[in-house]
Amino acid sequence: MKKTRWLSLFTAGVLALGLILSGCSSSEGQSSQESSSSQTEESSQVTETKVPTLYIGTYDAEGNGSFQEFPFVSSGEVTPENLIAAMGELTGWDLTLSEDDPVTTGKGGMTVSFAPESAVFTGPPEEQKDEFHMYSSDQLCYTIFDSIQKTLRENFSPENPEALDIYYCTDGSTEIELDNLGVVVPIDEPYSHALFEQLLMSAVIAEPDETASEAA
């Protein structure tokens, strides 16, 4: 009788211990899964965080272009103005923008307004960095225009860069007249490299006609 009772108590104790151990194991497994899931989410968030990047155009002798990428190293806010200022500091080009409305944003895209002293108007600086050496005013202009366009698009419209139109002007609302190149960059038409090439080509074609007219 006593033996049977002790056996029953012993069996009940073993079963209870088994249930406790099973519960602990299940709890640890759940905790481990939750920890793993949390780490995965954190890793995903880090991966999705994109470091602001500066894009500087480079072109070979045939005019084929590509872009070098440089990280935006600054503790300041990521704004169009700050990105453009960082590009100027990196390359050595004067990318001074207009004091009033340097970059405006609207439904049509972004409009960048250059100051009269910027390299767009003054040409390549006398002392240049070898890595960003420009040989002519037209090369410098389309490199600046292309690089700013690429940088703004990739940083402010990364999912669909081409959807962000970039316009250029001076004094906030005046079209850019490049007298040394015979080119006027329209303020009401989105910039593109093809557009600037077309403007340069038109200026070259028009120049002989003007010379012939003067001779006559």
Question: Does a structural domain hold residue 144?
Answer: yes
Question: Does a structural domain hold residue 27?
Answer: no
The model's pLDDT over 177-209, given as tens digits with 9 standing for 90+, comes to 999 999 999 999 999 999 999 999 998 887 655
Domain of residue 71 covers 53-211
Q: Is 71 helix (H, G, I), strand (E, B) or coil?
A: strand
Question: Does a structural domain hold residue 91?
Answer: yes
Domain tally, the chain: 1
pTM score, whole prediction: 0.73
Q: Which pLDDT value is given to residue 145?
A: 97
Question: Does a structural domain hold residue 207?
Answer: yes
Write b or e for each residue in 46-85: b if 16 or more Cβ atoms lie within 10 A of its Cβ, otherwise e.
eeeeeebbbbbbeeeeeeeeebeeeebeeeeeeebeebbb
Burial of 192 (0-12, 13-18, 19+ CB in 10 A): middle
Highest mean pLDDT among 11-15, 71-75, 103-107, 162-166: 162-166
Q: Which pLDDT value is given to residue 124?
A: 94
Question: Does a structural domain hold residue 6?
Answer: no
Residue type at 64 in one-letter notation = N
Question: Does a structural domain hold residue 159?
Answer: yes
Asked if residues 178 and 120 have their Cβ atoms less than 8 Å apart, the reply is yes
Asked if residues 152 and 167 have their Cβ atoms less than 8 Å apart, the reply is no
Q: Which of 14-18, 77-81, 130-134, 197-201 has the lowest mean pLDDT?
A: 14-18
Evaluate if residue 19 carries a pLDDT over 50: no
CA 99 → CA 117, 171, 186, distances in Å?
12, 8, 21
